[in-house]
Structure 1
Amino acid sequence: MAYFHGVHTSEQATSVLAPVQVAAGLPVIIGTAPVHLAEDGAVNTPVICYSYQEAVSQLGYSKDWASYTLCEAIYSEFQLYAVSPVIFINVLDPAKHKTAVTDSTGHSVSKEKTVTLTDPVILSTLQVKPSAGGAAATAETDYVAAYDDDGNCVITILEDGTLGEAETVYCDYDKVDPSAVTSDDIIGGVGSDGNTTGLELINNVYPMLAQVPGLLLAPGWSEDPEVMAVMVAKASNINGLFKCLVLTDINTAQVKKYADVNMWKNGNNYTGTDQVVCWPMVRQGDDIYHLSTALAGVIGVTDSNNSDVPYKSPSNERLQATGLCLTDGTEVVLGLEQANLLNSQGICTGLNFNGGWKTWGNFTGCYPSNTDVKDMYIAVRRMFNWDAATFILTMWQMVDKPLTKRFVQTVVDTEQIRLNGLVSRGFLLGARVEYREDENPVTDMLNGIFRIHKYFTPPVPAQEIEEIAEYDVDNLQSLFETA
């Protein structure tokens, strides 16, 4: 050591690490959006939105939820349940999913010098002509085209342009065709050009946005068994590290009675551990939502009320709904017995029994064939997923540090202190962390492999509360007592 004369200090790394915060119920929602109406028009890329306005700016918005499935989720998440952030992945690409329109009959110009096209026009392809075979006029010189609040394309004829005296104009254009989007677009993959699309993009969420998915949805698409299977597979191995819960729907166009739901569920293999199966749909006024969409909102609100710790089941929580229905609007009426039957089959539903409309169901799709407590309960499964993500991200900074006694103690103490905090706040019933010699053989340690063993107990939902009442004959003796 070099000679020193005086007083000095040094620092040593803190022996306990601050845990990384992970959003437990962060939804990743994949589907189609009217990006031709958006300022930015995000296609096949995860976009994170914190408000309704931000979502509309990046994805557009339309009340045609059947064609633009993400719009249902945009409205539900931000307007009905007021939760954020939400990550959206739009697969509708106007450059690919389009249809050419040739105008042979013409459109009359109004006295306000406007023409309105109700088709979802791709503005960059629009050609406005004085006759069917005429030369196209020049945008911004002869006319101006823009979308109105209803998504219509409004063409305003400029008086000084070549169309100034025209009473009829002919409009050729390409229009967005949502019907051209197929399940293959939702499933996606990695193309020969290296571009990633569809569900494969869930692996891009953390690298791009530093957010771990908590929920995965595809309203309007998850009722397709092929899409569902890929959703479950992707959600169980995100970036080779994380897991999230998949919210799926049973097809209400095919399954119209509660008695037929279980056969469809099992027949189409909607039985995943990290999967919630929903039936039927919900109505809020004149709007119809997939139950998976509504459940995502309920989960967001429930987590928010519990410090973003997913220990509370989303069952028996307020559902923004005025009824249950099928996709065609047909009302579905479920009593407690019918709703409980669905629950016993691993299906979540809605119930209006006491206190208004509530979500109803605690089990994941694997129930009743799998009764492992960590797998069958939604809340417990989510706690395991959330806890694993928190541990991974907290301890990532320890990777490749020397495997010493201090290293072992830092990992064990950090995790034990974090778990003790969860226990003290009532989120866990108990927890302990052990470094066990039998689980760390010398051969593994020589390869740099280090293990700790964690025991922790999230509470299960109290889904059956029973009072045992008995007539107490001893109290008859009070009749013989004198005043």
Structure 2
Amino acid sequence: MSTYKHGIATKSSGAVGITQSKTTYSAQVIIGTLPINTLKNPKDAVNSIILLENSEDMDNLVGKTNEIEKYTAMQGVYASLKVHKVAPVVVINVLDPDNSQHVQAVVGKEYDVVNKMVVIEDTGVLLDKVVVSENETTYKADDDYVASINSEGYLVIALTNDGAASSLQKLNISYVKLNPDGVTAEDIIGGIDEKGVRSGIELLDEVFINTGVIPAIVTAPVFSKQKEVAAALEAKVRLIGSLHNAKAYVDIDSSESGAVSVFNVAKVKEENVPQSELIDACWPMVNKNGNVLAFSSFAAALAQAVAAENGDIPDGIDNRELLVDGVCTEDGTSVKVIQGDANSYLNANGIITAIRLPEWKAWGNNTAMYPASKDPTKRWSKCVMMLNYLQNRFKTEYLSKVGRNAKVKFIKGIVDEYNASLNALAPDYLAGGEIIFDTAKNSPSSMLEGHYIFSTRYADYTPAEYIENDFVYDAQILTDTMEGGDE
């Protein structure tokens, strides 16, 4: 029977979040660990591709926690969706409850029941691994008690009114919780098993086919300070899924065993970071709202935010506002990086940092390839991103042409359409560009094989990294002024 409505009422549909800026060609993929114990089905979020299109997706798809530092992929999600407010973001979580190294068993302990409830101040608890007992009796979840996670991330055991444990004043409770510290570089790197199932970084190849998102920026926050992870990222971003070009932001170790001052960062970079134009190396960590977080997370989020503000066209992050409270080493010790030191010890060695001017700004244009190469398409981070953008756009937009008949009209159509795209980018984003179909590069034998080669010439702008104005004191100006003083 329908309810007859008469009177006054209200309802709440929840908070409406701030809209994230969207990008198509500058989306991020973040690989690391998540607080999956708070999800309805934690195992569904293990080595799977999770697409976040707005901040409202976070709780349901990647979990929730007040311990952002503890979960490395959450650092990237937080930097992107909550701080710099950009989307989409794809997340790959490798923290696996079925991996004995990724969990920790907590032995049973007796707790007092207060108002039919026990609150255990521990986090990461897997609800399906909770055991509630008393003496020799083990109680049943949902029948005798309900286990949940509260807003602080703590385990809550609430006794049901009609359950077998309803009158008890003490309970013995044991459980299993996540151990993100048990995740290793090998887990992040992942692989392909004998059944063809991918994990870790190898899952990048499935991002586009599963989500339609172009994986242009890749991070493995905190873990990327390890040489093996940085090398795996560099190898993968060269060509993801046999289709897309990307770049990776990596962290340089700022722990006691790494670099705790500007003076030894270059040495640590040389030992651990691939000398590659596809890598932007970041040092040190950042502080945000009391959390010590990976610089790579915020650099990548800023890069995506810049592209979003720029009509989905990438640009450098140098001298752009980085929404952090400060920079610090891994143990949280504040680092004071002045501009001269940032230039001489970091930027000069292909390292991006942050300085206060007076807002916190990302500082640095060079990729990890510098100073080994001064080729603009390898040295300048924004030039690498622009080349990736042009290549990804061409391959994505004309992928549907593969397999079609290569008629003259077909060839001319590609040339005309892509030239129109290049012309639209000039002069604001490109100095110029042109695509041609050169018959000299397309022999009859090649065309009989179905191979058709187009050639594109382009030039984008290099960053104005140094602006100088030579001021000269000209005494003649003073003399001329004084001579005209009686007028």
TM-score > 0.5, shorter chain as reference: yes
Secondary structure of the residue that 1:214 maps to in structure 2?
Answer: strand
Match of 1:393 in 2: 396
Q: Does 1:288 align with 2:292?
A: yes
Deviations 1:294-323 (A, max 9, x none): 11221122112210101x311100111222
Name the amino acid aligned to 2:89: V
Deviations 1:56-77 (A, max 9, x none): 2111122323431122222221
Match of 2:50 in 1: 47
Cα distance between partner residues in 2 of 1:188 and 1:223: 16
Match of 2:337 in 1: 334
Match of 2:429 in 1: 427
CA contact (8 A) 1:63 1:71 kept: no
CA contact (8 A) 2:23 2:308 kept: no
Deviations 1:152-208 (A, max 9, x none): 111112343222232221123322222222111111111223321111100010010
Cα distance between partner residues in 2 of 1:119 and 1:451: 57
Match of 2:133 in 1: 129
Cα distance between partner residues in 2 of 1:223 and 1:129: 44
Cα distance between partner residues in 1 of 2:123 and 2:349: 44
Cα distance between partner residues in 1 of 2:330 and 2:309: 31
Map residues 49-88 of structure 1 onto 2, 5 A cutoff.
Answer: 49-88=52-91
Name the amino acid aligned to 2:33: T
Match of 2:144 in 1: 142
Match of 1:357 in 2: 360
Cα distance between partner residues in 2 of 1:428 and 1:239: 27
Q: How far off its partner does 1:472 sit?
A: 4.0
CA contact (8 A) 1:34 1:61 kept: yes
Cα distance between partner residues in 1 of 2:291 and 2:23: 33
Secondary structure of the residue that 1:128 maps to in structure 2?
Answer: strand
Cα distance between partner residues in 2 of 1:237 and 1:407: 27
CA contact (8 A) 2:238 2:278 kept: yes
Cα distance between partner residues in 1 of 2:483 and 2:63: 80
Cα distance between partner residues in 2 of 1:53 and 1:257: 39
Secondary structure of the residue that 1:339 maps to in structure 2?
Answer: helix
Cα distance between partner residues in 1 of 2:401 and 2:470: 53
Deviations 1:35-91 (A, max 9, x none): 110135311111111222312211112232343112222222122111111111111
Match of 1:275 in 2: 279
Secondary structure of the residue that 2:147 maps to in structure 1?
Answer: strand
* Structure 2 unpaired stretches of 5+: 1-21
Deviations 1:325-352 (A, max 9, x none): 1111111111111011211110000011
CA contact (8 A) 1:22 1:390 kept: no
Match of 1:101 in 2: 106
Count residues in correspondence.
456
Cα distance between partner residues in 1 of 2:193 and 2:159: 43
- The CA RMSD measured in Å over matched residues stands at 1.8
CA contact (8 A) 1:33 1:68 kept: yes
Of stretches 452-461 and 262-271 in structure 1, the one that deviates more from structure 2 is 262-271
Deviations 1:265-311 (A, max 9, x none): 1122432210000001111241222111111221122112210101x
Q: Percent identity between the aligned chains?
A: 28
Name the amino acid aligned to 1:46: I
Match of 1:182 in 2: 184
CA contact (8 A) 2:286 2:328 kept: yes
Q: Does 1:302 align with 2:303?
A: no
Secondary structure of the residue that 2:451 maps to in structure 1?
Answer: coil
Match of 1:18 in 2: none
- Inter-CA distance 95–297: structure 2 relative to 1 (3 Å threshold): same
Cα distance between partner residues in 2 of 1:274 and 1:471: 45
Q: How far off its partner does 1:414 sit?
A: 1.1
Q: How far off its partner does 1:119 sit?
A: 4.6
- Inter-CA distance 269–299: structure 2 relative to 1 (3 Å threshold): closer
Deviations 1:379-407 (A, max 9, x none): 11001101101101111122222223222
CA contact (8 A) 1:22 1:386 kept: no
Cα distance between partner residues in 2 of 1:175 and 1:397: 47
Find 2:269's aligned residue among 265, 270, 283.
265
Name the amino acid aligned to 1:263: K
Cα distance between partner residues in 2 of 1:22 and 1:453: 27
Q: Does 1:33 align with 2:34?
A: yes
Find 1:450's aligned residue among 440, 449, 452.
452
Q: Does 1:225 align with 2:230?
A: no
Find 1:344's aligned residue among 348, 351, 358.
348
- Structure 1: which 4+ aligned runs deviate by more than 6 Å? none
* Structure 1 unpaired stretches of 5+: 1-20
Secondary structure of the residue that 1:331 maps to in structure 2?
Answer: coil
Cα distance between partner residues in 2 of 1:256 and 1:320: 22
